[in-house]
């Protein structure tokens, strides 16, 4: 199987599985507990049908949107995700370059493996910094100031990860940073030597957003342990309001799922919210973002940019979310599998396929611009 044989999300996933050691693939692929919410995120789109219009003159299609003050050529962006250079040695560099080529936004995580500054200098495309709130308040202020000085346009605070989710796949393999693998995990690395060669022959793995503040090299600090020990579970709305004032720009909360929280985000001055359950990786059994979208848009959509992130695998999923009122959608696994499979070329192919699906879908829906999509285009079973 080669990259040219990949025509959809599932093809990229299969190719990534062939190329990655099991523990790393499972880190991308897995979710919390029984992974019910992870599966529901995509399944939620299946109870919603599109109702197309015809004879609308759809020769020219405009897929551009403005979200969080940023003009995007298409209504999806690459959500910030952690540890990307574990999946492919080019990591965030590949994702940023692909996003720039397709005129969309990309995110960098606090647990990113390439620095904010390098990516900001390399690409003019809008950049999001995904921020975790640490127990050390001076660290929080320092990280925000660094992002401001780097020229990052959007601050995105993740609010659904005050403690680590129960990711049992990682426990079985011993996935951690640095690696402390079980025997089963070591075997999986042994049968995928190409990954190890690439890992060892490129620059040393590091977390440049954190390496001046957090020692992840002395002992096995697992991802779950980072969430549990470094992040501040006492974070509250007053803390976030202070961050919004300090940032004084586009500020988005990622992980909002209730109407009450959406309204509170408006009250403290946020400019956007991302409906997300962290890809099903935190609270298993929680509701899918698509299922919450309509009521949150109805409550606050005229006062704040509402974005949806979770379960997107097809262009038609994007069209359904936009029809319900989302300003844009974020994707994570959708680009991580192709990144793992083929680096920048993989991410570019995934974004190109999505762009084609969106353009074709809009033509078949009888829409020439995103603002023509509405709930009149939808029926729920």
Catalytic residues: 278
Contact 301, 50 (CB under 8 A): no
Element housing 89 (H / E): none
* Structure-token match 């999509």, residue found: 373
Both tokens of 214, joined, read: 């957090």
Over 274-343, what HEC string results? Answer: EECCHHHCCCCCCCCHHHHHHHHHHHHCCCCEEEEECCCCCHHHHHHHHHHCCCEEEECHHHHHHHHHHH
Contact 209, 115 (CB under 8 A): yes
Both tokens of 177, joined, read: 């940073």
CA–CA separation, 140 vs 146, rounded Å? 10
Both tokens of 32, joined, read: 């919390």
Q: What's the distance, CA 98 to chain centroid?
A: 15
* Structure-token match 């009122």, residue found: 325
Question: Measured between alpha carbons, how far is residue 303 from residues 159, 266, 273, 306, 326 in Å?
Answer: 20, 7, 11, 9, 13
Asked if residue 195 has a cis previous peptide bond (ω within 30° of 0), the answer is no
Burial of 236 (0-12, 13-18, 19+ CB in 10 A): exposed
Of 267, 269, 268, 271, which Cα lies nearest the Cα of 250?
A: 271
Crossing angle of helices 333-365 and 9-19, in 10° steps, is 160
Torsion region of 251: left, alpha or beta (phi above 0 gives left; psi -120 to 50 gives alpha): beta
CA–CA separation, 173 vs 186, rounded Å? 8
């Amino acid at each position: 199987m080669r990259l040219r044989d990949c025509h959809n999300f599932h093809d990229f996933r299969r190719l990534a599985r062939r190329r990655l050691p099991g523990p790393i693939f499972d880190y991308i692929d897995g979710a919390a507990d029984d992974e019910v919410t992870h599966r529901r995120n995509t399944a939620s789109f299946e109870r919603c049908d599109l109702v197309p219009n015809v004879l609308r003159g759809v020769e020219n299609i405009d897929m551009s949107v403005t979200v969080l003050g940023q003009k995007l050529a298409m209504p999806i962006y690459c959500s910030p995700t952690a540890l990307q250079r574990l999946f492919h040695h080019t990591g965030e560099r590949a994702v940023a370059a692909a996003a720039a080529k397709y005129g969309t936004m990309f995110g960098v995580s606090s647990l990113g493996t390439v620095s904010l500054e390098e990516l900001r200098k390399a690409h003019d495309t809008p950049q999001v910094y995904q921020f975790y709130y640490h127990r050390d308040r001076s660290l929080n202020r320092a990280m925000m100031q660094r992002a401001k000085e780097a020229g990052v346009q959007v601050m995105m605070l993740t609010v659904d990860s005050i403690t680590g989710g129960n990711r049992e796949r990682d426990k079985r393999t011993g996935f951690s940073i640095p690696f402390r693998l079980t025997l089963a995990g070591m075997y999986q690395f042994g049968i995928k030597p190409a990954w190890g060669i690439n890992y060892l022959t490129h620059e040393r793995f590091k977390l440049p957003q954190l390496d001046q503040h957090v020692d992840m090299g002395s002992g096995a600090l697992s991802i779950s342990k980072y969430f549990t020990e470094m992040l501040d579970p006492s974070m509250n709305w007053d803390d976030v309001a202070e961050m919004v004032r300090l940032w004084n720009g586009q500020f988005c909360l990622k992980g909002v799922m209730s109407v009450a929280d959406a309204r509170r985000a408006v009250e403290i001055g946020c400019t956007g919210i991302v409906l997300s359950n962290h890809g099903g990786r935190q609270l298993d059994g929680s509701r899918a973002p698509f299922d919450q979208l309509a009521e949150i848009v109805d409550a606050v959509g005229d006062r704040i940019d509402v974005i949806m992130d979770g379960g997107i695998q097809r262009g038609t999923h994007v069209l359904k979310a936009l029809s319900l009122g989302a300003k844009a959608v974020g994707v994570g696994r959708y680009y991580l599998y192709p990144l793992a499979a083929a680096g920048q070329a993989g991410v570019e192919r995934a974004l190109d396929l999505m762009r084609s699906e969106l353009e074709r879908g809009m033509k078949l829906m009888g829409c020439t611009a995103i603002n023509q999509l509405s709930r009149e285009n939808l029926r729920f079973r």
